[in-house]
Structure 1
Amino acid sequence: MSANPVPVVRIAPAPAALVLVAGAGRLPELVATSLDRAGRPFRVLAIRGFAERAMRARADATVDLLDIAGILAILKAWGPVTVVPAGGVSRPNPAAILNAAAALRNRDALKAISGGGDDRLLRGALALLEEHGHGVVGVHEVAPDLLTPEGLLGRHAPDAAARESIVTGRALLAALSDFDVGQASVVVGQRALAVEGPEGTDRMLARARMLGRRPFGYGSAQPGTVLVKCAKIGQDLRVDLPAIGPRTVANAAAAGCAGLAIQAAFTLIIDRPATIAAADRAGLFLLGLGADAGGPEAGTGSGS
Structure 2
Amino acid sequence: MDRRDNQGRLAIVAGSGRLPLYVAEAARGRDDEPYIFAIKGESTTDWSAFDHTDLGIGDIAGLKRISAEKQIGRIVLSGGVRVRPAWNEIRLNLGTIWRLPKLMRTLMHGGDNLVLTTAIGLLEGDGRRVIGAQDIAPGLVAELGPLGQHAPDRQAEADIRISIEAARLLGELDIGQGVIAVGGRVVALEGPEGTDSMIGRINELRTRERISATRPGVLVKLCKPSQDIRVDLPSAGLSTIRNAHEAGLSGIALEAGRSLLLDRQDVIDFADSHGMFVTGIDPDAYGAAR
TM-score, L = length of structure 1: 0.81
Q: Which residue of 1 aligns with 2:7?
A: 15
1:195 aligns with 2:180: no
Superposition pairs of residues 195-274 of structure 1, within 5 angstroms: 195-211=189-205, 213-215=206-208, 221-274=213-266
Once the two structures are TM-superposed, the CA of residue 132 in structure 1 deviates from its matched residue by 4.8
- Seen in structure 2, the aligned counterparts of structure 1 residues 40 and 215 have a Cα distance that, compared at 3 Å, is same
Q: Is the 8 A contact 1:68 1:102 kept in 2?
A: no
Once the two structures are TM-superposed, the CA of residue 255 in structure 1 deviates from its matched residue by 1.7
Q: Is the 8 A contact 2:7 2:74 kept in 1?
A: no
1:72 aligns with 2:64: yes
1:114 aligns with 2:107: yes
Q: Is the 8 A contact 1:46 1:56 kept in 2?
A: no
128-137 or 191-200: bigger deviation: 128-137
Query: 1:215 is matched by which residue type in structure 2?
Result: R
Instruction: Give per-residue Cα distances to partners, 1:47-77, cap 9 Å, x unaligned.
Output: 2232233325423322222222211111122
Q: Which residue of 2 aligns with 1:81?
A: 73
From 131, 148, 155, give the equivalent of 1:137: 131
Instruction: Give per-residue Cα distances to partners, 1:162-195, cap 9 Å, x unaligned.
Output: 1111111112212332111211111124310111
Does the residue aligned with 1:249 lie in a helix, a strand or coil?
helix
Does the residue aligned with 1:85 lie in a helix, a strand or coil?
strand
Does the residue aligned with 1:261 lie in a helix, a strand or coil?
strand
Q: Distance in 2 between matches of 1:121 and 1:238?
A: 13
Does the residue aligned with 1:170 lie in a helix, a strand or coil?
helix
Q: Distance in 2 between matches of 1:198 and 1:262?
A: 19
- Seen in structure 2, the aligned counterparts of structure 1 residues 112 and 69 have a Cα distance that, compared at 3 Å, is farther
Instruction: Give per-residue Cα distances to partners, 1:17-73, cap 9 Å, x unaligned.
Output: 211222211111111111122222332222223223332542332222222221111
Q: Distance in 2 between matches of 1:105 and 1:37?
A: 34
From 287, 292, 298, give the equivalent of 2:284: 292
* Cα RMSD after superposing both structures: 2.7
Does the residue aligned with 2:213 lie in a helix, a strand or coil?
coil
Q: Is the 8 A contact 2:13 2:76 kept in 1?
A: yes
Query: 2:132 is matched by which residue type in structure 1?
Result: G
Instruction: Give per-residue Cα distances to partners, 1:137-185, cap 9 Å, x unaligned.
Output: 0101221111112111122222111111111111221233211121111
14-23 or 247-256: bigger deviation: 14-23
Q: Is the 8 A contact 2:16 2:80 kept in 1?
A: yes
Query: 1:182 is matched by which residue type in structure 2?
Result: G
Query: 1:159 is matched by which residue type in structure 2?
Result: D
Q: Is the 8 A contact 1:188 1:222 kept in 2?
A: no
From 31, 35, 42, give the equivalent of 1:39: 31
Q: Distance in 1 between matches of 2:126 and 2:105?
A: 15
Q: Distance in 1 between matches of 2:140 and 2:264?
A: 8
From 21, 25, 33, give the equivalent of 2:17: 25
Instruction: Give per-residue Cα distances to partners, 1:174-225, cap 9 Å, x unaligned.
Output: 23321112111111243101111111111111122222x23379x9634251
Q: Distance in 2 between matches of 1:203 and 1:80?
A: 36
User: Kindly, what percent of the aligned residue pairs are identical?
Assistant: 37
Q: Which residue of 2 aligns with 1:125?
A: 119
Q: Distance in 1 between matches of 2:142 and 2:47?
A: 24
1:53 aligns with 2:45: yes
Q: Is the 8 A contact 1:28 1:55 kept in 2?
A: no
1:183 aligns with 2:177: yes
Once the two structures are TM-superposed, the CA of residue 114 in structure 1 deviates from its matched residue by 1.8
Instruction: Give per-residue Cα distances to partners, 1:77-134, cap 9 Å, x unaligned.
Output: 2235111111112248xxx99xx96547788635265231111211111111124542
Q: Distance in 2 between matches of 1:121 and 1:174?
A: 19
Q: Is the 8 A contact 2:202 2:247 kept in 1?
A: yes
Q: Distance in 2 between matches of 1:18 and 1:32?
A: 9
Q: Distance in 2 between matches of 1:185 and 1:157?
A: 19
Q: Is the 8 A contact 2:10 2:33 kept in 1?
A: yes
TM-score, L = length of structure 2: 0.84
